[in-house]
Structure 1
């Protein structure tokens, strides 16, 4: 059976990544591509690396006949997704890649994103899109809210440890490095080559990064009590990748064994042999997440390192993984490509 999908926001990085991935999917057809400011252009004019594909011309959202669409990917900016999704057919399956439906509490959304949630009635039906941990709910969902790429990386490293109670929940430090594509495709002065290259800096210090809302929500739900991590993101002058180094209080071998057991049957999560560390090089362009564990020199402490591609496993790849679950397809369909190296 072939499923017709639409991609809204197809002119952004995550939209292009969705096209790249779905082009290899055995049973999904891209029936519509929307990009408001670039409507009327061919995808090859916007992304020449997709020139070899036969794709619909970019159009405006209101030009799409959604009666012919089985599932819609919304790769739109925050806040815009609320407005657009509210106007879509109520029976349409949707995977939203923005932050608009990630936080279950509307007050939390307003706290972290600075404006009231305008689609609270839809928020109530949204399922958090971390496939490995919400698989059954995603299969039955109409609306799935994709995770933040930083939030996904931290959760892959920590969720099994919190659930198993093998680390001190009040002693978690998350030091994360993210590629520049995580900031989107819009022109921004601080992301110009001359301003970003040959440098490396921390940003959103303290309690200002929006993905803290996801960490608070998910870790506290797991633990059954409030859990707040220390989190500092850093911007790397590279195109793709996230590397998270997590410092925890717990026995390193137990931490490794817990992660290895939790992910033993997960097709996209690779726990490395004890003492080995992953690299963003080893997951580039793939839907894999590599996790390593090492013993800290301080007794009773461990270092957990997780690496993934922010555009694939951190966003568009995870979105397609969710879509596979929602459409009754093999979860790995279109996603088993090997990473790019070098």
Structure 2
């Protein structure tokens, strides 16, 4: 155990945190040495997550940067938006490397963050130094980083679906439609009226139309994929709530700049993601159960009436949150990217 790297899970009560525990308990190079909870009492981890009974013997404690730094080299933050930016600076000042699962460090521009999240950003240094943690696109930058901004779940699905087309300048950069559906766990564990069983069961609804916070994240990253050349990418992103526990399916519609050939596009995607172990470019139409409880993102491409359609799906709690966090951790530790994720 002494040869393992100590990892703290900050914000241990949520669904993403449960996935982090589940994955890291199988990691040969990591020991979970601390967990924090903002609850008044200090619950045991297996009381918060009964599925972990007899797998972990750890009591949550209130957040204390000194205490975490004494126990862990890495901290994985599963805190709500705006809460992470208060925890990140004291951890980094004490030499703890951070992977943040919230949105607090995903947007490079502090004003854009304030506009979309309604809260001024208080950690300019962290915002400037954070690396966007989508390994399929930014793998070389991750190993040397001390702060990783874990991608959003909808964002990962949408960005991975579009990146090859944007990188090769094959589609128009405006008018891209991302029609995405997510399971209820995407809204987190805290009770909300719209997630109450009688409200969401046997119901299907859109939300955040034209104002969902993942929109600027998707546009920012895809514009970076374009190399900063030409017009910025602008997507029309519409999320929907589906009455299932987990999973995301996105159908993306784009206007090609020249005649598109379906076979050639699929080969392009296979080549683009050839070194990405968790992107599966498939010939069939992917479904959420195909990737459920895995760290895979399944993608396929179709050409319909001259338009390019990309279909992508992943598990919002794994590849959309905890799984990609462990991918980033593996890269930072020098472990094979797939460690504990297969």
TM range (shorter): over 0.9
Counterpart selection for 1:11 from 13, 36, 44: 13
Deviation at 1:65, TM superposition (A): 3.8
**Secondary structure of the residue that 1:56 maps to in structure 2?**
coil
Aligned pairs for 1:222-233 within 5 A: 222-223=225-226, 224=229, 225-233=231-239
Contact kept in structure 1, 2:105 and 2:127, CA below 8 Å = yes
Q: Which runs of 5+ in 2 are unaligned?
A: none
Contact kept in structure 2, 1:22 and 1:334, CA below 8 Å = yes
Residue 139 of structure 2 is aligned to residue 135 of structure 1: yes
**Secondary structure of the residue that 2:338 maps to in structure 1?**
coil
Deviation at 1:54, TM superposition (A): 2.4
Residues 54/115 of structure 1: CA separation in 2 closer, same or farther (3 Å cut): closer
Q: Separation in 2 of the partners of 1:101 and 1:9?
A: 17
Counterpart selection for 2:318 from 312, 323, 326: 312
Counterpart selection for 2:296 from 281, 285, 288: 288
Alignment correspondent of 1:60: 62
Two-structure CA RMSD over aligned residues (Å): 1.3
Deviation at 1:67, TM superposition (A): 2.6
Residue 195 of structure 2 is aligned to residue 191 of structure 1: yes
Counterpart selection for 1:333 from 315, 335, 339: 339
Contact kept in structure 2, 1:71 and 1:92, CA below 8 Å = yes
Deviation at 1:221, TM superposition (A): 2.2
Residues 278/86 of structure 1: CA separation in 2 closer, same or farther (3 Å cut): same
TM-score, structure 2 as length reference:
0.94
For residues 210-235 of structure 1, give each alpha carbon's deviation from its aligned partner in whole angstroms, at most 9, with x where no partner exists: 00111121122222221101111101
Q: Separation in 2 of the partners of 1:40 and 1:138?
A: 33
TM-score, structure 1 as length reference:
0.94
Q: Separation in 1 of the partners of 2:201 and 2:280?
A: 31
Residues 29/38 of structure 1: CA separation in 2 closer, same or farther (3 Å cut): farther
Alignment correspondent of 1:264: 274
**Secondary structure of the residue that 1:154 maps to in structure 2?**
helix
Alignment correspondent of 1:340: none
Alignment correspondent of 1:126: 130
Contact kept in structure 2, 1:106 and 1:120, CA below 8 Å = yes
